[in-house]
Amino acid sequence: MTTSVPAPRTPAGRVAKPTLSERIRDGLVESIVSGELESGERLVETKIAADFGTSQAPVREALRELEGLGLIESRPRRGRHVLPFVEQTLREAYVVRAALEEAATRLALTGGQLPWEALEADVVDMYRSAEGEDLHAMGVASSRFHRRIVQASGNLLLDRAWEGLQIEARTAIALVVAAPDLDRVAEEHADLLEVLRTGDVDRACLHARVHQWAYADLPHDLNGVAHPAGPATSS
């Protein structure tokens, strides 16, 4: 990993570092996906806190998020246990996300509310993340890019539905599962931004949909195999 590359920054100039709960969440996700934490294995807060050198509060927060994502379950009087990792849950989320972002793209373009400078800054952050091989920062920048488009739609119900999918956490999982070429991820977002700039609503909507459909084909289609709806893309 290249250590000389500066960490990605938000538009406000703050370094996009993971919180303790995000670091614990991502670590547990990797352990679950890799099989290091096996299905049915009990997760003990005190042990996880000791492993990460932190208190139990951020561990509890991370576990709640993983439970909401369907990676673990809480059983009365038996604690939390790892569930079998099912790629289908990610596929379903990305199918729904594709529909939401297609609608958001249409509304945002027709309403003329896209924040171009902020989107450009997000793409710069993604290239910097790729150069630094920083999966977490890539996930944050990618989620932030797409969130801006959804918010620019001006549709509060669509915005709430998108947020309800826990996009940032699912993006983190997808990056761990697929291990895509991060340079390619940045390039895909740059391409999407270029299409948005053309103002061609139908083309932009197609690109937005295909952009998410690639992740519905986890894991084998992410590194070069085209989806029937168009070229393979990244998160």
Q: Which residues of 61-82 are buried (b: 16+ CB within 10 A; e: fewer)?
A: bbbebbeebebbeeeeeeebeb
d(CA 106, CA 110): 6
Q: Which of 13-22, 42-51, 74-83, 207-216 has the lowest mean pLDDT?
A: 13-22
Query: Of 2, 13, 72, 6, which is closest to residue 44 (Cα–Cα)?
Result: 72
Write the pLDDT tens digit of every residue in 137-166. Answer: 898 899 999 999 999 999 999 999 998 888
Residue 76: CB partners within 8 Å, gap ≥ 6? none
Per-residue pLDDT at 212? 87
What are residue 18's DSSP bridge partners? none
Do residues 137 and 127 lie in contact, with contact meaning Cβ atoms separated by under 8 Å?
no
Q: What mean pLDDT, rounded, does the chain reach? A: 82
- Binned at pLDDT 50, 70 and 90, residue 130 comes out as very high
Given a cut of 50, is residue 112 above it in pLDDT? yes
Do residues 11 and 118 lie in contact, with contact meaning Cβ atoms separated by under 8 Å?
yes
Q: Which helix (H) or strand (E) holds 214?
A: helix 201-216
Counting residues of the chain whose pLDDT is more than 70, the rounded percentage is 84
Residue 193 has φ and ψ, to the nearest 5°, of -65, -40
Per-residue pLDDT at 42? 92
Using the structure block, give the residue that is written with the tokens 């809480």: 74
Counting residues of the chain whose pLDDT is more than 90, the rounded percentage is 48
Q: Tell me if the bond preceding 76 is cis, omega within 30° of 0.
A: no
0.85 surpassed by pTM: no
